[in-house]
Structure 1
Amino acid sequence: MTKPLSPLPKYLRLEAASVVVTLSKPTEFNGVTSDTISLRAPTVRDIRAASTTANGDEEQAELNLFASLAEVGTKDLEGMALKDYTRLQTGYFRLVHDDGI
């Protein structure tokens, strides 16, 4: 039996095929400052591509995947506050988690 997920954090808005993460501070993505970032739901192809381009580096694979899903550069993600990157990771987990429905 799997443990049920905790209530959705206030900084996340989960949609059918994406998640919107509200950041703790505005951050620049692709030259535009925003207080949110969205991730679309990944495909198997996305996962494979991110892994292939990372050459065995799991952290780089995650950065590659998130950058692809958010349509931003990896350097933009690396410039995020750690608190906001953790929010992004949480959003990704909630997006891909099988809720049993």
Structure 2
Amino acid sequence: MPERKDETPGWLAVDLERALVTLSKPCEIKEVKVDRLTLRAPTVRDVRAAASASNGDDEQRETILLANLTETDIKDLEGLKLTDYQRLQAAYFRLVQDGGV
């Protein structure tokens, strides 16, 4: 059965404070093999700090923000499979959408 747009995918668990993203395959984060990443809900401070550090580069701003929210290094996120990076992006948008999860 196809997934409806408003349904939460099986790889994502989300509440108002955080999202737990199951990766499509384990990867190394800070030299530890993991199969899930937790993304905390962003603050205004997080968004402003990432914007300031990125010097106007939108892709860099997003990577800085996701690294901060997952407490990982940018180089680790850049090493993720694209599918898994896109899962983090989707989790972020679930966390910031108006009207809850």
Length-normalised TM-score, structure 2: 0.91
Partner residue, 1:50: 50
Match for residue 93 of structure 2?
Answer: 93
Can you give the 5+ residue segments of structure 2 that lack an aligned partner in the other structure?
Answer: none
| Conserved 8 A contact 2:39-2:69 | yes
Unaligned ranges ≥5, structure 1:
none
When the two structures are superposed, what TM-score results if normalisation uses the length of structure 1?
0.91
Give the letter for the 1:99 counterpart. G
Say how many residue pairs are matched: 97
Q: Which residue of 1 aligns with 2:16?
A: 16
Contact 2:16–2:100, Cα closer than 8 Å, also in 1:
no
What's the CA shift for 1:100?
A: 6.0
CA RMSD between the two structures? 1.3
Q: Distance in 1 between matches of 2:75 and 2:82?
A: 14
Q: Partner amino acid for 1:62?
A: E
